A and B are shown apart, each in its own frame.
Chain A
Amino acid sequence: MLQEESDLALIIAQIVQKLKGSTLYAQLERQAWASLQRPEIKLESLKEDIKEFFKISGWEKKLQNAVYSELNVFPLPSHPAAPPEHLKEPLVYMRKAQGSWEKRILKSLNSMCTELSIPLARKRPVGEQKELLNKWNEMGTDEPDLSLFRPVYAPKDFLEVLINLRNPNYENGDSHSFRTHLGLIQVPLKVKDIPELKEFFVELGLTAGQLGIDDSTQVPPELFENEHVRIGQKVLSEQDSAAAQQYIRQGSPTALRAELWALILNTSSQPEDILYYEQLKTNVIQHDLLVDSLIYKDVKLTASNDDYYFVFEDYLYQVLLCFSRDTSVLGHFAYNSASPPKSYIRGKLGLEEYAVFYPPNGVIPFHGFSMYVAPLCFLYHEPSKLYQIFREMYVRFFFRLHSISSHPSGIVSLCLLFETLLQTYLPQLFYHLREIGAQPLRISFKWMVRAFSGYLATDQLLLLWDRILGYNSLEILAVLAAAVFAFRAVNLMEVTSLAAAEAVLADLSTLKVMPLLQIFLFATVT
């Protein structure tokens, strides 16, 4: 009992600490001062009266949402004396692996820099600034020469690193034993099995209504859809983050999705937020970064070539270029196993006072990065709103897909979860694919790293991301990957090479996500 109480006290203290620096705190303070003018606030019962006022005016709800948001994102400390590295990543060998991966990336970036003799950052001459400002809404029409640039890394490079991860405390020896994993991932992390997943994803069960299944044309809307939409509207009018998160587990109606996501991610549209975005835009105009060229190249290679996202090309530049300059993103490194790369002012190598983070937000884009933003363009059209939503999605979810950690939603765990599910419930398929040299993870890795963006049809992708937000976890990506393999198992059993297996799984655009998940989790005999 005592332990729980002191844990709770610690958590409360940490959240209060975190929120003290936020605009919400300043707003609440101002509101409290202003409320003193009101007749119902009496000096004798000042505290209770102000609390009551907050409740009625909706400020308590806002505070609730902020606290809920923090709880979702910030990991709970295991011990009050745990050093900050433990918050990032408790396992030493994982931290080490992430550190050496980062060194490799930075080396690659620096060598590209030296080869092309382009500085990491430079101030734009005034003429260039004016030109960029004029072209801000149509940067896609620019055709800079990007032939010499190459992406810093691609998902398959990252996969190789993960395959070579080993826990030094877990002696496997060189020979294969019953303890060696059959898949590519060889680290012993705990992942959920289907009974645990069934419990975790209980709202996706056969007895509950789902958008993505029960809103199809054959089902009369009175059975589920109408009521679900009505509840969604109610949740929005109450502006309750936690309720929205619970609600969205059954999917979000198309018309309400943009607002629901904004509520769950607890973004606001105050003038300060728009101003912040404008400030970032000014930074982009004034300084040119090497990563900008990487971003351009990525957008041109991926989103611009996509049949559906090519339309949003300009928005992608507007979001990603600003994103690289946003130093508030550095905050997420407190709970991300990765650390922002450091660079030094010219001539001051090694001197800490002259160290800067590069890029300013500490995130180096890789091949396919722009696909995290592309689906959001479907929902948000105002640049500062689109930007905020993307940033929140990144610091809550996407960062886990390309950093090495033991977190259950981290990419390593997702890979292991995928492989374990496949081995346990489709052993024949797994064995067959392994025998022909087509380890399933080699095919599904790219789907998971991109959270399926660009592989599924957009409406299906948005239904999937609804559930990511609802369950505050990326595990559903691994479950879906396994479900896709299960769905195409018959064809896969007949292939005889990796290339043929890739071909069977090349086109996911016709898949319906929710039925696949439901069948795999709830309707397969285990």
Chain B
Amino acid sequence: MNTLVDVLHHRPGWVEVKEEGEWDFYWCDVSWLRENFDHTYMDEHVRISHFRNHYELTRKNYMVKNLKRFRKQLEREAGKLEAAKCDFFPKTFEMPCEYHLFVEEFRKNPGITWIMKPVARSQGKGIFLFRRLKDIMDWKKDTRSSADQKGDIPVENYVAQRYIENPYLIGGRKFDLRIYVLVMSYMPLRAWLYRDGFARFSNTRFTLNSIDDQYVHLTNVAVQKTSPDYHPKKGCKWMLQRFRQYLASKHGPKAVETLFGDMDNIFIRSLQSVQKVIISDKHCFELYGYDILIDQDLKPWLLEVNASPSLTASSQEDYELKTCLLEDTLHIVDMEARLTGREKRVGGFDLMWNDGPVSREDGAHDLSGLGNFVTNTHLGCVNDRKKQLRQLFRSLQGQKKTPN
């Protein structure tokens, strides 16, 4: 169920290039990028699916660093209230260099649970929970000794992060949200938000008693697939529309608007924090997979940002979602040069940030009553992309003087 291959092959006029041939578009993986980007010449029209130093956003330790720096800057420029809008990231410390800062924070909050994550691994590998310093002292000894034995392999970087102990539960289960954000450029910042996404459920019931049971706490589908309870038919995912409806019937539309507004805030601020650091090459674009966790007070937390979100489909529904996501991504990349560049919506993507906030077409008023700006995002809302694409391309065709 490889969605990417299917979408690329089905795109009219696109041909797959073999081996060393010249390409105009490359959906590359990050290792190729690391080795080849710097000495690859690209014509003006060529597009590639990653930014050179995307890891400033996607590696947990760099992201934390950038976010902390951005927060300080905001506090200086706009005050504490504005800076507090960046408090969507649980307290994180890089290991081993911030170990002492971590211990200080640890001692200030006795009894809480912490989670240790490797900075560069994915799919839930290498993650564990702990409550006592003793647990990580043991771990430190283990990793250092194995490194010594192996000789010159450096100790992997980890981050210690405050574990969110009161996640929002549905049916007694913990879940996180996977949301897709497409960034077309950083300078200026242009970002699109996809309407669809999904909630990934843990297979077992949430309890703080079993911090050793990684199946309970980690909601990655990859980890869930290895759980003894896992039944492939279940899929354990909910489309975002279903999730949004569930919340609306439980908490009312206002609370849901606030929650989704807070999530928009996460996307925009996280991108702003790395805006000046990422090398903005006009050939590059990137489709990020954001992992968000909601707590019981309906506050969203950013867990991490993925530069290469999984494009393999786990079910028919998942296949539809990912193929449509990729098709719309390619529409926006616009190798065919059909768009005017002034569009606010393409298929399932809504333009979220265009060097500034983007207003809604219909001039909708703000439901929260705070006089806040109503953004052009429709996460978890109806995605009538086929209809919209038809209308869009028909009108574009009408505007062109010479037919294709």
Which residues of chain A have a CB within 8 Å of any CB of chain B? 137-138, 140-141, 216-217, 254-255, 257-258, 304-305, 307-308, 310-315, 377-379, 381, 458-459
Contact = CB atoms under 8 A, between A and B. Distances in A.
Given A217-B382, A313-B171, A314-B171, A255 B253 contact: yes
Given A308-B242, A312-B171, A314-B171, A141 B235 contact: no
Contacts of A310: 234-236
A312 B173 CA distance: 9
Interface in B187-237: 201, 204-205, 229, 231, 233-237
17 contacts: A137-B172, A141-B204, A141-B205, A216-B382, A217-B382, A217-B384, A254-B248, A258-B249, A305-B234, A307-B235, A307-B238, A307-B317, A310-B236, A311-B171, A314-B172, A314-B205, A378-B249
B113 interface: no
Contact of A254 (B170, B172, B245, B382): B245
Contacts of A254: 245, 248-249, 253
B253 A459 contact: no
Contacts of B253: 254-255
Contacts of B237: 307
Nearest to A258: B249
A310 B203 CA distance: 10
B246 interface: yes
Most A CB contacts (10 A, CB to CB) among B172, B233, B245, B315 go to B172
A255 B171 CA distance: 19
A137 B205 contact: yes
B252 A255 contact: yes
A103 B253 CA distance: 50
Nearest to A315: B171
Given A141-B205, A255-B249, A311 B173 contact: yes
B250 interface: yes
A39 to B, nearest CB: 41
Interface in B330-361: none
Interface string B310-329: 00000101000000000000
A141 B242 contact: no
Contacts of A381: 250
Contacts of B384: 217
Nearest to A140: B205
Contacts of B236: 310
Contacts of B252: 255
Nearest to A507: B316
Interface string B258-272: 000000000000000
B219 to A, nearest CB: 13
A219 B238 CA distance: 27
A138 B171 CA distance: 9
Nearest to A304: B234
A138 B205 contact: yes
A134 to B, nearest CB: 11
B202 to A, nearest CB: 10
A137 B382 CA distance: 34
A168 to B, nearest CB: 47
A254 to B, nearest CB: 5
Contacts of A315: 171
A377 B171 contact: yes
Contacts of B242: 308, 458
Given A254-B249, A307-B238, 12 more contacts: A254-B248, A258-B249, A304-B231, A305-B234, A307-B235, A308-B238, A310-B234, A310-B235, A311-B171, A311-B201, A379-B249, A381-B250
A216 B231 CA distance: 36
Interface string B65-104: 0000000000000000000000000000000000000000
Contacts of B233: 305
A166 to B, nearest CB: 41
B228 to A, nearest CB: 9
Contacts of A313: 171
Contacts of B173: 311
A302 B249 CA distance: 24
A182 to B, nearest CB: 36
Contacts of B238: 307-308, 311
A307 B201 CA distance: 11
A521 B46 CA distance: 55
A378 B234 contact: no
B77 to A, nearest CB: 38
B388 to A, nearest CB: 11
A378 B243 CA distance: 10
Contacts of B205: 137-138, 140-141, 314
Nearest to B235: A307
B28 to A, nearest CB: 33
Contacts of B235: 307, 310
Contacts of A305: 231, 233-234
| A-B residue pairs, 8 tightest by C-beta | A311-B171, A138-B205, A255-B252, A254-B249, A312-B171, A254-B248, A310-B234, A305-B233
A377 B170 CA distance: 10
Contacts of A378: 245-246, 249
A217 B173 CA distance: 32
Contacts of A216: 382
B171 A459 contact: no
Nearest to B228: A143
Nearest to A377: B171
B245 A458 contact: yes
Nearest to A312: B171
B220 to A, nearest CB: 17
B224 to A, nearest CB: 12
Interface string B20-49: 000000000000000000000000000000
Nearest to A229: B253
Contacts of B172: 137-138, 314
A308 B235 CA distance: 10
Contacts of A377: 171
A230 to B, nearest CB: 14
Nearest to B246: A378
Nearest to A462: B249
Most A CB contacts (10 A, CB to CB) among B234, B236, B249 go to B249
Nearest to A257: B249
A38 to B, nearest CB: 38
A141 B229 contact: yes
A344 B374 CA distance: 68
Nearest to A310: B234
A307 B233 CA distance: 8
Most B CB contacts (10 A, CB to CB) among A140, A254, A308 go to A254
A185 B225 CA distance: 47
B245 A459 contact: yes
A42 to B, nearest CB: 46
A57 to B, nearest CB: 29
A356 B171 CA distance: 35
Contacts of B245: 254, 378, 458-459
Given A141-B204, A304-B234, A311 B170 contact: yes
Contacts of B201: 311
A304 B234 CA distance: 7
Contacts of A308: 238, 242
Most A CB contacts (10 A, CB to CB) among B171, B317, B384 go to B171
A259 B252 CA distance: 12
Nearest to A217: B382
A487 B246 CA distance: 29
B301 to A, nearest CB: 21
Most B CB contacts (10 A, CB to CB) among A307, A377, A379 go to A307
A121 to B, nearest CB: 28
A128 to B, nearest CB: 20
Contacts of A257: 249
B374 to A, nearest CB: 14
Nearest to A252: B249
Contacts of A137: 172, 205
A20 B246 CA distance: 39
A309 B89 CA distance: 31
A254 B384 CA distance: 21
Contacts of B231: 304-305
